[in-house]
A and B are shown apart, each in its own frame.
Chain A
Amino acid sequence: MPAITLVKGANASVTHNIPTATTITVGFSWDVVQSNGPATEVVPCAIACGQDGLAVSSQHVVFFNQMLSPDEAVSYEPDGSLPGGDVEQIEVDLQRVPSNVMSIALILYVNPDLRQPGTFDSVRGCVVRILDRAGSEVIRYPVEAADLGATSAVVAGELYRRQNEWKFRAIGQGFAGGVADVAHNFGFDL
């Protein structure tokens, strides 16, 4: 079955498209335009949110330096180690997501190094995918470069509960203030 390709604002059911899956992979891919200077470094992360849309806690922000949520439902898989061939991947065990987690925001941010950090202006081919455990692509959202521009963080999409199913929504909302804006928006301290 071909993957469902979403546009900004659209959504698709994860549960219906992977009916037997309890664990899914969120794959992130991108290309950085090469230059002579330092390159933009993109970092993916996932934020487990409660009913209010805020992070359940700062420990529910999963990225390369905090690789597992407290409930072990969300885990960072470095260097695309799961099947699928993405640049980086985050695994979500949907059955382990506690009932107080209503959504999982999927973020990409530019590391704010003091030395020419760059922005998404130099990032191309940014894609977020939902894969089954075998690495088969089920849902794909190519983030429009025009939606990002000079921003340095983007909420690419979210997994969210809808009655008894999990769905994925393509969001593509950029933040000019980078990861600091993300933290402010989701209510946790850096």
Chain B
Amino acid sequence: MSGTPLDSFVRRRPPRRPDASAAVAAPSAVRLSIGTPAAASHEPEPPARSIPRVSGTGRLEPRQPMLALSRFQSAIGSLQVVVGGDVTGMDVLWELDDMRQGSIETAPLDAGRRPLVSYDRMPGFVLGLRHSRGLRRVLFYLPSTSSVTVNLYGGTTIACDPSITVLAVYQHDGRMHLRYDGEPYPTLGTVKAAYGFA
């Protein structure tokens, strides 16, 4: 497969797990003097910040602005965003893990020759998940819609509060996180500025 300028993002190897021998060698080379008991190094990692996971049905709203997807939900099939009401001004901003950015009009093709993200007939958008590990974040700008629903393979459905203006999807270490944003962004340019897009 060749030809699309950005399709290398789907061919890049995910990071390999760290070499165990290197991990063991590091502490002996770096001696700290803060007196941490040896046993402390065997303590379990603190629990990750608690972001609710979703299975079956979920809801994104100001009181619960983030949801976490499982590794299966994050990588199998598609993430479908179905909108109702006024679709004027809708757009998508994407950023790959190598920091390349673009909008829906410049979405790269993946190895299956499907755009990373595309318009759907529902109406709404479809984000392909086969190559989700190459993503960093995707922002769905929904300035005038009256309803927004996210559908995942396996039947999980997430209803978003109608006040949502940006549905932000972040990928980190194979897990997708969905975030509610209800700021009244008047233009796509203000969304770009707020999220640090060029």
Task: Choose one: A38, A66, A111; the contact of B71 (CB below 8 Å).
Answer: A66
User: Which A-chain residue is minimally distant from B151 (CB atoms)?
Assistant: A114
Please, which residues of chain A bring their CB within 8 A of the CB of B147? none
Query: How long is the Cα–Cα vector from A27 to B174 in the complex, in angstroms?
Result: 23
- A78 is an interface residue with CB less than 8 A from chain B: yes
A111 CA to B70 CA, complexed, in Å = 16
Question: A58 CA to B126 CA in the complex, in Å?
Answer: 26
B16–chain A nearest beta-carbon distance, Å: 8
Question: B144 in the interface, Cβ–Cβ < 8 Å?
Answer: no
Q: Which residue of B lies closest to A76 (CB)?
A: B14
CB pair B112–A39 under 8 Å, yes or no, is yes
Q: Name the segment of B30-38, B76-84, B90-98 touching the other chain.
A: B76-84
- Whether B14 and A64, one on each chain, are in contact in the complex, defined by CB atoms closer than 8 angstroms, is yes
In the assembled complex, the Cα of A131 lies from the Cα of B111 at a distance in Å of 26
Q: How many residues does chain A have at the interface if contact means C-beta atoms less than 8 Å apart?
A: 29
Q: Are B111 and A65 in contact (CB under 8 A)?
A: no
User: Which single member of A38, A43, A65, A189 contacts B133 (CB below 8 Å)?
Assistant: A65
With a cutoff of 8 Å between Cβ atoms, the chain B residues found around residue A61 in the complex are 72
A39 touches which of B113, B118, B129 (Cβ 8 Å): B113
- Nearest B residue to A72 via CB reads B17
**Docked pose: A64 CA to B112 CA in angstroms:** 16
Count contacts on B: residues with CB < 8 A to the other chain: 31
A115 contacts B76, CB within 8 Å? no
Say whether B74 contacts A81, CB under 8 Å: no
Chain A residues positioned under 8 Å from B133 (CB to CB): 64-65
Residues of A within 8 A of B13 (CB): 78-79, 81
- With A58-B72, A67-B17, A113-B78: A189-B112 Cβ-Cβ less than 8 Å: no
The answer to the question of A40 belonging to the interface, with a C-beta cut-off of 8 Å to chain B, is: yes
Shortest CB-to-CB span from A183 to chain B, Å, is 8
For B80, give the chain A residue with the smallest CB separation. Answer: A114
With A43-B130, A113-B78: A38-B72 Cβ-Cβ less than 8 Å:
no
CA distance A81 to B17 in the complex (A): 14
- The A42-86 residues at the B interface (CB cut-off 8 A) are 43, 58, 61, 63-68, 75, 78-79, 81
- Give the residues in chain A near B77, CB-CB below 8 Å: 111-114
B128 close to A65 (CB less than 8 A): no
Does B145 lie at the interface of the complex (its beta carbon under 8 Å from any beta carbon of A)?
Answer: no
Interface residues of B (CB under 8 A from A): 11, 13-14, 17, 55, 70-78, 80, 110-114, 118, 120, 126, 128-130, 132-133, 153-154, 174
Q: Supply 17 further A-B pairs (C-beta < 8 A) apart from A38-B114, A81-B13, A115-B128.
A: A37-B113, A39-B112, A64-B133, A67-B17, A78-B14, A79-B13, A111-B76, A111-B77, A112-B77, A113-B129, A114-B77, A114-B126, A115-B78, A179-B153, A183-B154, A189-B55, A190-B76
Q: List 24 A-B contacts (CB under 8 A).
A: A38-B113, A38-B114, A39-B112, A41-B111, A43-B130, A64-B133, A65-B71, A65-B72, A65-B74, A65-B75, A65-B132, A66-B71, A67-B17, A78-B14, A79-B11, A111-B112, A112-B77, A113-B77, A113-B112, A114-B120, A115-B114, A115-B118, A180-B153, A189-B55
Residues of A within 8 A of B (CB): 37-41, 43, 58, 61, 63-68, 75, 78-79, 81, 111-116, 179-180, 183, 189-190
